[in-house]
Amino acid sequence: MSTDSPHFRLEEVAPGAWAALAGDTGACVSNAGIIDLGDQTLVFDTFVTPTAGTDLRRAAERLTGRPVTLVVNSHHHGDHVRGNQAFSDASIISTERTAELINETSPGDFDAYATHLSGWIESLDQQLADGDSAGRPDVRSDLQSTRAMAQSVLTTLPELTITPPTTTFSDNLVVEGSERSVHLLSYGGGHSDSDTLVFLPDSGVLFAGDVLWVEHHPWAGDGHPDEWVGTIYRLKALAPSAVVPGHGTVADFEYARLFTRYLTFLCDMVKQAEATSTSVAKLAATPIPPQYAGWASGNRFRSSLEALGRRAGLPPD
Ligand SMILES: [Zn+2]
């Protein structure tokens, strides 16, 4: 379904449930969701800019014919929560830990943040101009999408108001609507210290946030890959009919198998490096296994291993 927004496209995944899938303008980066409960409208995640957040609110109002009263933040990463301000009159729900992390990690000094973003854009431009990536369309496209995000965040920074969650829950919250209900589930940490998913028991649709990424290398450097794998196993019991991932297209839950193998591979590489006192640099140079070579954001494979290796206390080089 088309939307008035250039930043995302809507896909109806079940009656009364839409995935808002990030486009390539850089204003969204992650996916979001809209759920019509019958008497209430719920939004799952809010993108990386207030601009895309506002477009999401408009789309939700248009689709459901009423204002958004409930927003769920899946976890603290900026690309899922920086549109929160578009929903400042709604109840914004997350776990206690996610709310803490949003408060701890959101930029406080916007001038310093703008300087950081400008420097980042310059270095990305440099890498694009260097020519190292000339024969690597995959690398160039990763650099270009990262640049689009950094530019969108910088351009919209003057409008940004950090808007933390207003309501917290611990591990399970059922919201009963007049037409359908949703289950907010948190099995603890995995992708971050605390991840929340939204499950629709009637249709079996699972809004997974960054617990699942489809054909995108996940960022695992803030996470706990062992626990992450455990969370995905627990999701099997729900027998989801379709999954809306944090990044990538809507998929069958069957896809989780391949993704779990990816995370297990990361865990094994880190454990092997620990056992042999391999350096962070050498660990990070692990080649991407061929079955994941076509996934977007290949640079995240390296940066995740680097972060996990540092956290494991491996020598730098
Ligand atoms: Zn994330």
Whether pTM > 0.85 for this model: the answer is yes
pLDDT (0 to 100) of residue 132:
74
From the CA of 128, how far away is ligand 1's center (Å)?
A: 25
From the CA of 76, how far away is ligand 1's center (Å)?
A: 7
In the numeric block, the tokens 């290949």 are attached to: 298
How far CA 282 is from CA of 133, 155, 272, 316, in Å, comes to 22, 37, 12, 9
For the chain, what are the domain ranges?
Answer: 8-105+162-254, 110-159, 262-311
From the CA of 77, how far away is ligand 1's center (Å)?
A: 5
Contacts 24+ apart (CB under 8 A), 285-289: 288/217, 289/265
Angle between the N-to-C axes of helices 225-236 and 255-275, in degrees from 0 to 180, rounded to the nearest 10: 150
Q: How confident is the model at residue 90 (pLDDT cuts 50, 70, 90)?
A: very high
From the CA of 106, how far away is ligand 1's center (Å)?
A: 14
At residue 17's C-alpha, the angle toward residues 243 and 171, to 5°, is 60
Q: Summarize pLDDT for 9-56 with one digit per residue, the tens.
A: 999 999 999 999 999 999 999 999 999 999 999 999 999 999 999 999
What CATH class does 8-105+162-254 carry? alpha beta
> Which tokens belong to 65?
């014919």
Q: What is the mean pLDDT of residues 77-85?
A: 98
> Which tokens belong to 34?
């809209």
Percent of the chain with pLDDT over 90: 94
From the CA of 179, how far away is ligand 1's center (Å)?
A: 30
pLDDT (0 to 100) of residue 189:
93
Q: Summarize pLDDT for 153-184 with one digit per residue, the tens.
A: 999 999 999 999 999 999 999 999 999 999 99
